[in-house]
Structure 1
């Protein structure tokens, strides 16, 4: 992995992954792309950036070839909650973009990484200790595209020899980027509201257990898998990865250890609750540990302390900047 092109670079994962790759591999060795181009965004302003609609295969091919990429990290997709509101568009973007990424990888002989999700599981999947290989019958369009994507990546590896790699991400929690329409977004929103107002209204039931991961661990997992010895990879695509499993009540109590005054009530969103109830409570990550030494660093309390500290620092910086702005009389 020397020359890396990333699609969906302005999303929750892409924003932090691009920054880390630029640090590790050098600014000139990472090409970030996205369908939009906000000029003041660090991903756009601090390195190589090109506008790319992932449904435009010819432009994707041109950019990858011109950049002389050896690795394509394909992140562009619609997430679970948004995909349920726009299912036809979700299929078009999630599958069309992935086919293009795989075709470009086949033609240029690139390593291709794309993330799957715990959304690829369904109600018939074992909910506790969900194994790497088990029944997958999701009932959401997002989950359907993820299962199809896993199979497609396997197909391109066995049929064409493309070096495809991927993980099944749980909910991802970040202080850098706001959530983008996922069912697990509550686990990010709760920290923002805790710092802003000291209170959060949760859209999921108190005992809804879901797998989660702090973004630094997720970024490390992507890089670690891409740099893993190919000969050790038995599964190759869609490795189960997770760092913790918790309920809304668990995260409330973790926040209260740092902010005793924090309060939370519930206003359940039926659509989100239905999606969450179809997903595992906890997944088994043994294959990722055995095949490429996956080992997350953050548990719930460590993540909670860092999230609250970083968001409080961010809020103080914003308040200071607002006070320093000139005011017209």
Structure 2
């Protein structure tokens, strides 16, 4: 990557990935885009443009004018929000992503697409879910992810587009609180631990899902996009994860740092059903073998850093 366009820059991943890339490659070489105008570091730290990713003509013109060699396409609606507006989720997540992929083909750029553990479903093996396995998701978010995994493979095979992608687990960050995701509890619990010393989870105890600290997720994006293409057997939708945890495990880790922390439960049926359709744990051996994926944070190290960072901000989100 030398000149990069990032869509969905105001989201949970983009708001941290853009500054990370600017530190690595130089501020003027990373163009942040989002549907709405940005403020603060995202707009002030380097070039920014408003972009509706469904507008292929404007998208192509922007990529061409910036002389980009890479498009990192992060724009999209998350799982729980998508279930409340299926038509919009399909339009943004599928039509918008297909438009972005076609722009990459037209402009000759590499293309990154973030898939998710939501691409799996109840019939997928739950433990150590293989890299290649049955995928029958039960959410519109997951259906869209599977469609784009396949479309990215097609564009690589048919047109030679350098497509690459990751199946992200739940991402945990102290910088930006997520909105509309099933794994959101794993961020909220840390903020509430600092603010109140207790938390009420909308996910039931014993519900295991894969998670990863945001710092490892950012490293994974760069690691994959910088990897030698000759080593990539799969290219798209690599399983990645750092830990498989349920709410009780996170609460226990927090309790070691904040004695007396307590957790209660008020389960949200929608998000609980989504969570139960996803794997408990992923087999990440393909990512380790093909581009040396190696997360640095486990539950304990992540928990200490999350609590320290949130406490230093007085319990506020960035």
The two structures have a TM-score, normalised by structure 1, of 0.95
Q: Could you tell me how far apart the structure 2 residues matched to 1:285 and 1:64 are?
A: 33
**Residue 216 (structure 1) aligns with:** 215
SS state at 1:189 partner: helix
Give 1:309's aligned residue: 308
Q: Does residue 198 of the first structure (1) align with residue 194 of the second (2)?
A: no
| Aligned mates of 1:317, 1:10 — CA distance in 2 | 18
Distance in structure 2 (CA, Å) of the matches to 1:227 and 1:57: 26
C-alpha distance in 2 between matches for 1:317 and 1:57: 38
3-state DSSP of counterpart to 2:33: strand
> Whole-Å Cα distance in 1 between the matches of residues 195 and 7 of structure 2?
32
Superposed counterparts of 1:108-127, under 5 Å: 108-127=107-126
- Please give the secondary structure, in 2, of the residue aligned with 1:5: strand
Partner of 2:92, secondary structure, is helix
| Structure 1 residue aligned with 2:11 | 11
Unaligned ranges ≥5, structure 2: none
User: Using the alignment, how far apart are the partners of 2:313 and 2:120 within structure 1?
Assistant: 36
Distance 1:317 1:252, change over 3 A: closer
**1:241-293 CA-partner distances (Å, limit 9, x unpaired):** 00000010000000000001211100011101100000000000000000000
Aligned to 1:321: none
Larger C-alpha radius of gyration, 1 or 2? 1
- Name the structure 1 match of 2:25: 25
Residue in structure 1 matched with residue 91 of structure 2 by the alignment: 92
For 1:117 and 1:76, how far apart are their aligned partners in 2?
13
In the alignment, the residues of structure 1 paired with residue 269 and residue 28 of structure 2 have an alpha-carbon distance, to the nearest angstrom, of 46
Q: Partners in 2 of 1:96 and 1:192 — Cα distance?
A: 35
TM-score using structure 2 length: 0.98
Q: How many pairs does the alignment contain?
A: 317
CA distance in 1, matches of 2:38, 2:133: 42
CA distance in 2, matches of 1:143, 1:95: 11
SS in 2 for 1:207: coil
Offset, 1:99 = 1.0
For 1:287-326, list aligned pairs within 5 A: 287-315=286-314
Partner of 1:172 in structure 2?
171
Unmatched tracts of structure 1, length 5 or more: 319-329
The equivalent residue for 1:322 is: none
Matching of residues 1-329 of structure 1 within 5 Å: 1-39=1-39, 41-315=40-314
Q: In 1, distance between residues paired with 2:17 and 2:43?
A: 13
Counterpart Cα distance in 1 of 2:215 and 2:268:
29
Q: CA deviation at 1:37?
A: 1.1
- After superposition, the CA RMSD in angstroms is 1.0
**1:317 CA displacement:** 8.7
For 2:204 and 2:162, how far apart are their aligned partners in 1?
A: 41
